[in-house]
Amino acid sequence: MTGRVACAVVPALALQILLRRRPGDRGAPAAVVDRDRPTGRVLQANPAAMRAGVLPGLRFAAALALCRDLRAGEVPEREVRAAHARLASILRRFSPSVEPSREEPGVLWLDGRGMVPLHPSAAAWRAAILEALRAEGLVARAAVGFTRFGSFAAARSGREPGVLADPAEEREVAAAVPLRLLGLDPDDRDALERLGVFRVRDLLGLPASGVEARFGPAAARLRRLAAGDLPDPLAPVPGEEPVRAREVLEHAEEDRDRLLLVLRGLLEPLAAGLAPRRRAAAAVEVRLALDDGTEARLDLRPAAPTRDAAHLLELVRLRLEATRLRSGVVEAEVELRAVPEDPGTGRLFPDRQGRDAAAAGRALDRVRAEFGPAAVVRARLRDGHLPGASFEWAPLEGALPPPRPGPAPARPPLVRRVLDRPRPVPAPGGVRHGPDGWDPAGPHAGAAVPVAGPFVVAGGWWAREVRREYRWVETRRGDLLWLFHDRRRRRWFLEGSVE
């Protein structure tokens, strides 16, 4: 099948994960939300919910107003990524070259070269792909075409029999696919539909320059792909290859030091065996069978793939010391997830610019190994009507991103520090104030003078109503404080400061 490309689509992967957890909700209107709160947004919805008017992008409160029987829930991003990776590993049984989509989990492409005579025909190859996905309890579609876009459009449309005979048929099928099935931004899609542009052929009828100027680069790229003006070859992602070793112990081992020696004897040969294959360990999994019949697992993922057995063993030691074993260990197994090594790993003179990023990654690995993945986090913005709810701490996965400094500002920027929890402070004009006046930061900072405000923040009717009046005040020492008066509790709080 020279030149053939297959596209497998598991539509609404996050929603399918949710419904697998809640099989009783399969026939009811269901949706995935980014946060299980009224302010959360709908990410995916099943047909029953969409018939009631629940569409992606709606606030959860608005969706409940449209459909009182809506069953909604959150699906963590890491769970969706793990399921996406699991799909890729399944499909590698049908082609060594598989490209998982980076934009849409549940969409994957397979290179069809050499698949015949391994399979009797392209139709048999497609049927085997669908059977493997459906065996996982997933609703799936697949199409075999000649380009990434054409096969994706055909798979999205659910066209049967799903095997396109020639490039001309692929172009004809893709032109008839509705834009709403192709993952276009909802705002761009709605704007195009107001102009009567509902299908790919309608989009191709618009001038390319006008599409980019009016609807942005995403819509312009979609048009170029549909027209065949943009080369888009497959970019396969190599899968992780597990290599493992196991040892059965003569006696139940409870001493951590002796157990670590056993794990070292398993880990070091596995790590040494990666070098001839030009592989590196992207993850380490240790399984310990305990004397009471239970099992303990230690899952570790270094910031960057490595063959450094000493570093991997140190991570295992730190995690082992932080893990409580209920009884002695009777069997130990170590598994390394191998991926192709970084081309720069074997350089004789590696680049050294500024600080050593690899050393920083190893240091963070040690912290994660001892205290868990949640010990290393980064701030991530999110929608929230209160300052403390406008961001969240998300685990930092993988390597530390390199800094991207911009030009130095003429004046040092001010940084707003937000407290984990607002701190109560004395009210102005009350009995608890300093001799010179109101001192919310304490007598050492001196009296405070209002600078700006009040700025009213109100909301929270869906849980507990909030009404705050924020003010900026400056102390005699020069501290710039961010305070608010809670009207419901009739108290003043310090939210943060500016430095």
Q: What residue has token string 């398993």?
A: 266
Cα(208)–Cα(280) distance, integer angstroms = 44
| pLDDT at residue 303 in the model | 80
**Average pLDDT in the 108-116 region?**
84
The pTM of the whole model exceeds 0.95? no
| pLDDT at residue 128 in the model | 92
Question: Could you tell me if residue 202 is left (phi over 0), alpha (psi between -120 and 50 degrees) or otherwise beta?
Answer: alpha
| pLDDT at residue 343 in the model | 56
112 falls in which pLDDT band (50, 70, 90)?
Answer: confident
**Which positions ≥6 away from 165 have C-beta within 8 Å?**
none
| pLDDT at residue 431 in the model | 47
DSSP 8-state symbol, 458: E
| pLDDT at residue 377 in the model | 81
| pLDDT at residue 348 in the model | 47
Cα(401)–Cα(285) distance, integer angstroms = 25
* Per-residue pLDDT tens over the stretch 374-425: 778 877 777 666 777 777 777 777 667 777 777 777 777 777 788 878 888 8
Higher-confidence residue: 354 or 268?
Answer: 268
Closest alpha carbon to 373 in 396, 401, 399: 396
CA distance readout (Å), 247 to 10, 33, 157, 259, 265: 39, 45, 51, 11, 9
Q: What residue has token string 């598989």?
A: 98
- 79 sits in which H/E element: helix 77-91
Cα(48)–Cα(29) distance, integer angstroms = 5
Query: Six-digit token pair at 225?
Result: 């792909």
Closest alpha carbon to 90 in 138, 148, 153, 124: 138
- Residue 354 pLDDT > 60, yes or no? no
Query: Six-digit token pair at 224?
Result: 């170029």
Cα(328)–Cα(458) distance, integer angstroms = 57
* Per-residue pLDDT tens over the stretch 50-105: 889 888 888 888 888 898 889 888 888 878 888 888 898 899 888 888 999 888 89
**Residue 124: what residue type?**
A
Q: Which of 9-18, 51-60, 231-240, 339-348 has the lowest mean pLDDT?
A: 339-348
CA distance readout (Å), 290 to 284, 315, 320, 325, 372: 19, 21, 14, 8, 22
- Residue 8 pLDDT > 90, yes or no? yes
Closest alpha carbon to 55 in 157, 163, 189: 189
Cα(362)–Cα(318) distance, integer angstroms = 13
Cα(443)–Cα(431) distance, integer angstroms = 14
Q: Which of 27-31, 180-184, 200-204, 224-228 has the lowest mean pLDDT?
A: 180-184
Closest alpha carbon to 253 in 322, 320, 336, 335: 320
Cα(483)–Cα(494) distance, integer angstroms = 5
Cα(219)–Cα(188) distance, integer angstroms = 7
* Per-residue pLDDT tens over the stretch 118-133: 788 888 999 999 999 9
Phi, psi of 423, rounded to the nearest 5 degrees = -105, 130
**Average pLDDT in the 18-22 region?**
87
Neighbouring C-alpha atoms within 13 Å toward the C-beta of 57: 10
Q: How many residues does the chain have?
A: 499
* Per-residue pLDDT tens over the stretch 156-215: 888 788 888 888 888 888 888 888 888 777 778 888 888 888 888 888 888 888 888 888
Question: Could you tell me if residue 446 is left (phi over 0), alpha (psi between -120 and 50 degrees) or otherwise beta?
Answer: left
| pLDDT at residue 349 in the model | 47
Cα(256)–Cα(66) distance, integer angstroms = 58
Cα(308)–Cα(329) distance, integer angstroms = 26
CA distance readout (Å), 413 to 385, 387, 444, 470, 472: 25, 20, 26, 22, 17
| Pairing, β 279-290 against β 295-300 | antiparallel
Higher-confidence residue: 252 or 411?
Answer: 252
Cα(31)–Cα(71) distance, integer angstroms = 6
141 falls in which pLDDT band (50, 70, 90)?
Answer: very high
Residues of the chain with pLDDT > 70, as a percent, come to 91
Strand partners, 242: 337
CA distance readout (Å), 122 to 111, 344, 346, 357, 483: 12, 39, 41, 47, 67
| pLDDT at residue 224 in the model | 87
459 falls in which pLDDT band (50, 70, 90)?
Answer: low
Residues of the chain with pLDDT > 90, as a percent, come to 11
SS3 state of residue 469:
strand
Q: Which of 18-32, 42-56, 141-155, 407-421 has the lowest mean pLDDT?
A: 407-421
- 117 sits in which H/E element: none
Closest alpha carbon to 326 in 288, 292, 298: 292
**Average pLDDT in the 321-331 region?**
88
Mean of the per-residue pLDDT values of the chain: 82
Strand partners, 109: 7, 99
Closest alpha carbon to 392 in 404, 381, 403, 408: 381
Instruction: Give the alpha-carbon dihedral of 13, 194, 205, 151, to 10 degrees.
Output: 10
Preceding amide of 343 cis, omega within 30: no
**Which positions ≥6 away from 363 have C-beta within 8 Å?**
none
